[in-house]
């Protein structure tokens, strides 16, 4: 049995789709559906059971899953604007530590989602080495709640037995329920369909032209492929960056959207809200040396390929979900 927490969410449901493609259907999905459209991510998926996240820990720790093979713990509050730190530490940090601790006791494979938000503004680098984890300064409570799990794992000397994944800027199908946390690819596609243009934030640093702020964009199918590889290689453990290993500009992303839609490029630059300016990252790039040394082949999709597959294979087609 494989448990996927956050299995109705963006990356979680993509992982379930990939597991199904690899012949896995003995899957328990843990999540909370609420009143949004997240439940649609489960349509067409093959899984054994669905358990609300509030009921999962007690069942797990009581030994209800005696045939547990692996847990992919991807569930969390991922809102970078969440201000309730007590909630984040309980929901993200302590919840993760309890799942990890149980898996260690039972020798179940545990892969959990950390985040590139742990790196803060990137001024201190993007190293996923254990010895670097105390130096980072996240810009928001979400990143802080994730960093605490990683730091705990290092302090407890268990990173050789568990796997934490620091996903960078993920985009792709099944993100539709995420509201303001949806990728710029999806927001740009919707704006182009409405207005035939894409709005990008102006730069407030002289070393970056407007739209030349850079991110490491990774297609969600590559994230799923990486986790399948980890399932097949249970001896590959540690805290790993998962990205494309390339820094690409917002201008390049916008051009990729227009290209996928076979439209002329039309970009406008708008003012960034003042409350975002002090927290804005101008550059991110995943250092993939640790995970590629471990054996991962790296992402299969370049930015342009991922954007084209997303737009033409899902957003512009009748197949909206993966």
**Cβ-based neighbours of 44, under 8 Å, separated by 6 or more:** 321
Report how far residue 241's alpha carbon sits from residue 38's, in angstroms, rounded to the nearest whole number.
26
Q: Is 280 a catalytic residue?
A: no
Q: Is 178 a catalytic residue?
A: yes
Identified catalytic residue from 102, 119, 136, 142: 142
Map tokens 């471990």 to a residue.
Answer: 294
Q: Residue 274, Cβ neighbours under 10 Å: how many?
A: 7
The tally of CA atoms less than 13 A away on the side-chain side of residue 227 is 31
Report how far residue 214's alpha carbon sits from residue 212's, in angstroms, rounded to the nearest whole number.
6
- If we measure between CA atoms, which residue out of 132, 136, 124 comes closest to residue 154? 132
Identified catalytic residue from 178, 187, 202, 236: 178
Judge contact between 45 and 16, C-beta under 8 A. Answer: yes
Judge contact between 174 and 40, C-beta under 8 A. Answer: no
Distances (CA, A) of 50 to 9, 24, 84, 199, 297: 13, 16, 28, 39, 32
**Cβ-based neighbours of 155, under 8 Å, separated by 6 or more:** none
Structure tokens at 78: 């991922």
Residues annotated catalytic, as ranges: 142, 178
């Amino acid at each position: 049995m494989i448990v996927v927490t956050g299995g109705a969410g963006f990356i979680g449901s993509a992982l379930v789709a990939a597991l199904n493609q690899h012949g896995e259907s003995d899957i328990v999905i843990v999540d909370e559906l609420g009143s949004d459209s997240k439940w649609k991510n489960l349509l067409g998926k093959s899984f054994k059971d669905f358990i609300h996240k509030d009921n999962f820990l007690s069942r797990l720790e009581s030994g209800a899953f005696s045939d547990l093979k692996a847990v992919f713990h991807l569930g969390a509050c991922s809102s970078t604007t969440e201000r309730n730190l007590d909630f984040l530490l309980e929901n993200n940090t302590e919840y993760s530590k309890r799942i990890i601790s149980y898996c260690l006791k039972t020798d179940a494979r545990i892969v959990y989602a950390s985040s590139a938000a742990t790196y803060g503004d990137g001024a201190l680098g993007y190293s996923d080495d254990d010895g670097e984890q105390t130096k980072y300064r996240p810009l928001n409570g979400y990143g802080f709640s994730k960093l605490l799990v990683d730091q705990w794992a290092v302090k407890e000397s268990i990173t050789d037995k568990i796997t934490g994944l620091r996903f960078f800027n993920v985009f792709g199908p099944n993100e539709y329920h995420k509201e303001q946390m949806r990728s710029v690819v999806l927001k740009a596609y919707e704006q182009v369909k409405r207005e035939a243009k894409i709005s990008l934030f102006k730069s407030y640093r002289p070393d970056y032209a407007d739209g030349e702020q850079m991110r490491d964009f990774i297609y969600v199918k590559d994230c799923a492929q990486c986790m399948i590889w980890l399932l097949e290689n249970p001896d590959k453990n540690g805290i790993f960056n998962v990205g494309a290993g390339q820094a690409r500009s917002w201008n390049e992303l916008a051009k990729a959207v227009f290209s996928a839609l076979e439209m002329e490029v039309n970009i406008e630059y708008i003012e960034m809200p003042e409350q975002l300016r002090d927290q804005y990252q101008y550059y991110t790039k995943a250092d993939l040396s640790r995970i590629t040394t471990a054996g991962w082949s790296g992402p299969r999709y370049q930015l342009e390929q991922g954007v084209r597959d997303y737009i033409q294979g899902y957003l512009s087609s009748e197949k909206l979900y993966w």
